[in-house]
Chain A
Amino acid sequence: AQTVTQSQPEMSVQEAETVTLSCTYDTSESDYYLFWYKQPPSRQMILVIRQEAYKQQNATENRFSVNFQKAAKSFSLKISDSQLGDAAMYFCVTTSGTYKYIFGTGTRLKVLA
C-alpha cells in the first residue's frame, strides 16, 4: 500500500528566510501525482503545488518550489521569502490507483517575525 512520510512534525522559519519541508513516499505505481496542501488555522485545505510523476522538471509556483527525486521517492517543498501568512500545516499527498489520495501526517510550519 502507498504511504507518505513527513518526518518533521514541526518546523520554524524566520520571516523572509527559506525553509524546506521533507516528504518521502512509497508507491509501486509508475504513473501518479504528488501534491502539497496547506491548511491554515481556518482549516481550509488549499493546494500549494502539484507535480506529475512523469515530468522530470520540478514544479514551481511563485515562492513555492519542489525538489522531486523520483528514484529516491522524495518530494520536498521549498518556501522562499517566508511570510507570516505561510504559517500553517502542510500536507504531502500522493495519488493511489485511480481514485485515492494518500496524505502524510503533516508538518506544522511556524513563521517567526
Chain B
Amino acid sequence: SQTIHQWPATLVQPVGSPLSLECTVEGTSNPNLYWYRQAAGRGLQLLFYSVGIGQISSEVPQNLSASRPQDRQFILSSKKLLLSDSGFYLCAWTTQGMNEQFFGPGTRLTVL
C-alpha cells in the first residue's frame, strides 16, 4: 500500500533562517506531488506541484522554492524565512490522471 511521509512534524525557526521540509511517498511510482500551505482555520493554498523529476510548477510568487531530486521525494525550501511563512504545510500525491489526492500528516511551521 502507498504511504506518504512528511518531516519534521513541527518546526520553530527564527526569521531569516533557512528552511527544508521533506516529503516522500512509498508504494507508487511517478506520482504527481504537491505542496500546500494552510493558514489557521483557512483553506489550502497550492504552492508547487511536480509531475516528474526536476519538473516544478510554482503557483504563488514567494520566497519559497521546491525541488524533486528523486521520483518520490519532494522538498520545500527557503533561503530566508519570513514571519508570513508560518503555517501548516501539507504534501500530497496523486497517480497520473486526476484522481483523489492523498495527503501527508503535515508540518506545522512557526517563524518567530
Contacts and interface: CB of A to CB of B under 8 A. Distances in A.
A25 interface: no
Interface in B40-70: 41-44, 46, 49, 51, 57, 59
Interface in A4-41: 32-33, 35
Contacts of A103: 43-44
Interface stretch (A66-74, A78-86, A93-101): A93-101
B34, B49, B90, B100: which has the most chain A beta carbons within 10 Å? B100
Nearest to A108: B41
A32 B105 CA distance: 26
A100 B100 contact: no
B88 interface: yes
Interface of A: 32-33, 35, 42-47, 50, 91, 95, 98-101, 103-106, 108
Interface of B: 32, 34, 38, 41-44, 46, 49, 51, 57, 59, 88, 90, 92, 98-103, 105-106
8 contacts: A33-B98, A43-B38, A44-B105, A98-B98, A99-B32, A101-B34, A101-B46, A103-B44
